[in-house]
Amino acid sequence: MTERLHEFEGAPGVLGELGLAGPPTDIYVSLATNGAQVPDDLSDLTGHAPEVVARAVPVLEDLGLVATECGRLHAVTPQTPLELRARDLTRQAAIVTSAAHELGQLWSLHQGRADYIEIMPTMAAARSIQTRILEEASTQVRALSIGSSKTPRMAEGLASTLTRGVTVRAIYGASVLANPAALDVVQQCIALGEHSRVFPTVPMNLLICDDRIALVVVRVESDRRADGVVIHESDLLTTVAGVFEAFWRLAVPVSLSTSAIHLDKDNPETQRLLSNLAAGLTDAAIASDLDVSERTVRRRISQLQELLGAQTRFQLGVQASRHGWL
């Protein structure tokens, strides 16, 4: 039966998945509409060549939808045979699921790893899981992104995930604010509905799907090697989700109006601005010292807050000190 089904694969919808789209469907409809027919009459009624009808009829017979009596083909009521087929497929799915569980336990036993963790040996494997996670998400996706030194691009499958109405929250490393191309990609995601924030030091690439599965890539050595793991439902997954939420509370929102930032920490004016802030000077006093307008001062402070992931001036001072800017 499997070989026969393959002859009619590729048609859209459920009928195609059952191998019924095209000639088999036409034949069944003709029999159900016109009553029992001999094969030659079916060829005339459906417009399909006799050899096509000859290949399609066994597909219907294997599914129990057509019976032959006295050389004539009869349509059979579909409910019972298709329900039996559904039960058979359910049993097969249960067998495969059980086998996956048992083989997973065997793998864990001999590899010394927890059964809720899978190692991703290559970047290709990690990207494949990333795409699957985005395709399977039904309610929410949470992500941490270190950023890439290569040409920035939207993750494969992310656009369709956002279009489906899945809530996506992403935290990017502050490097995206200094890279116009990377910032442009982030803002494309925002335009599609993503909630984006930035934090100075994002420690890993992380993707969490519906509290069910997560992909963690800690370090990328090359296009072929990756320190990555897939985490299934477990206390570890709950902990990883908690890490994301902690970063989310500290991160600074990115919007469509956010512009790329080109601030040099070694620039004397940046150093003077930070020193004046640390000293508690007002915007007016800082503007006078730097010989710029108060509006310029506020804009530069806002840029520094975004770059260092600070939501307040106090946090800006703390972050600047931590990163050696003061």
For the residues of 170-234, what is the DSSP string, one character each? EEEEGGGGG-HHHHHHHHHHHHTT-EEEEES---SEEEEETTTEEEEEEEE-SSS-EEEEEEESS
Lowest mean pLDDT among 185-194, 205-214, 248-257, 270-279: 270-279
pLDDT, tens only, 69-115: 888 888 888 777 777 777 777 777 777 777 776 666 666 655 655 67
Token pair of 152 as six digits: 């920035």
Averaged pLDDT, 48-66: 83
Lowest mean pLDDT among 19-23, 49-53, 193-197: 19-23
Token pair of 215 as six digits: 């992909």
What is the reported pLDDT for 324?
64
CATH code for residues 125-253: 3.30.870.10
> Higher pLDDT residue, 197 or 265?
197
CATH topology of domain 2-76: Arc Repressor Mutant, subunit A (1.10.10)
Domain with CATH 3.30.870.10 in the chain: 125-253
User: What's the angle, vertex CA 94, arms to CA 89 and CA 98, rounded to 5?
Assistant: 150
> Higher pLDDT residue, 57 or 19?
57
Domain with CATH 1.10.10.10 in the chain: 2-76, 268-322
Averaged pLDDT, 134-146: 91
What is the reported pLDDT for 79?
77
Is CATH 1.10.10.10 what the domain over 268-322 is classified as, yes or no? yes
Prediction pTM value: 0.52
Kind of pairing between the strands at 117-120 and 213-220: unpaired
What is the reported pLDDT for 176?
77
